[in-house]
Amino acid sequence: MSETNRIEYKRELTPDLDIEKEVIAFLNYKEGGYIYIGIDDDGSVVGIDDVDECMLKLKDRIKNNISPSAMGLFDIASESHEGRTVIKITVASGIDKPYFKTKYGMTPRGAYIRVGTSVEPLPQEQIDRLFAMRTRNSISKIVSNRQDLTFEQLRIYYDERGKRLNDNFKRSLELVTKEGEYNYVAYLLADENNNSIKVAKYSSLDRCDLIENNEYGYCSLIKATKSVLTKLEIENKTATKITPMERIETPLWDRVAVREAVVNAIVHNDYSFEVPPKFEIFPDRLEITSAGRLPESLSREEFFTGISIPRNKELMRIYRDLDIVESLGSGIPRILRSYGEDCFHFTDNFIRITFPASVRIDYASASASATENKTEKTTEKWPEKWPEKWPEKGQKILDAISNDKSTTIAKLEVELKIGHTTLKKILREMQNENIIRHVGPDKGGHWEIVNNDAK
Residue 299: left (phi > 0), alpha (psi -120 to 50), or beta? Answer: beta
Scored b (16 or more CB within 10 A) or e, 299-326 reads: eeebbeeebbbbbbbbbbbbbbbbebbe
Question: For residue range 126-144, what is the model confidence (pLDDT) as tens digits?
Answer: 998 888 777 556 788 889 9
Residue 398 DSSP class: H
Task: Calculate mean pLDDT across residues 395-414.
Answer: 79
CATH class (in words) of the domain with range 7-133: alpha beta
How far apart CA 453 and CA 288 sit, in angstroms, is 44
CATH topology of domain 380-454: Arc Repressor Mutant, subunit A (1.10.10)
Every domain range in the chain assigned CATH 3.30.565.60: 197-356
How far apart CA 424 and CA 334 sit, in angstroms, is 36
Cis preceding linkage at 441, omega within 30: no
CATH topology of domain 197-356: Heat Shock Protein 90 (3.30.565)
Q: What is the DSSP string of 321-361?
A: HTTSS-STT-HHHHHHHHH-GGGEEE-SSEEEEEEE-SS--
Please give the model's pTM, rounded to 2 decimal places. 0.69
Every domain range in the chain assigned CATH 3.30.950.30: 7-133
How far apart CA 260 and CA 319 sit, in angstroms, is 12
Question: For residue range 286-315, what is the model confidence (pLDDT) as tens digits?
Answer: 999 999 888 767 788 888 988 878 889 999
Every domain range in the chain assigned CATH 1.10.10.10: 380-454
Q: Which of 275-284, 360-369, 419-428 has the lowest mean pLDDT?
A: 360-369
Question: For residue range 376-393, what is the model confidence (pLDDT) as tens digits?
Answer: 444 444 455 454 556 677
Residue 43: left (phi > 0), alpha (psi -120 to 50), or beta? Answer: left
Contact indicator for 198, 214 with CB cutoff of 8 Å: yes
How far apart CA 68 and CA 98 sit, in angstroms, is 8
Considering only residues 147 and 369, tell me which one the structure prediction assigns the higher pLDDT.
147
Question: For residue range 188-247, what is the model confidence (pLDDT) as tens digits?
Answer: 999 999 899 999 999 999 999 999 999 988 899 999 999 999 999 999 988 766 666 666
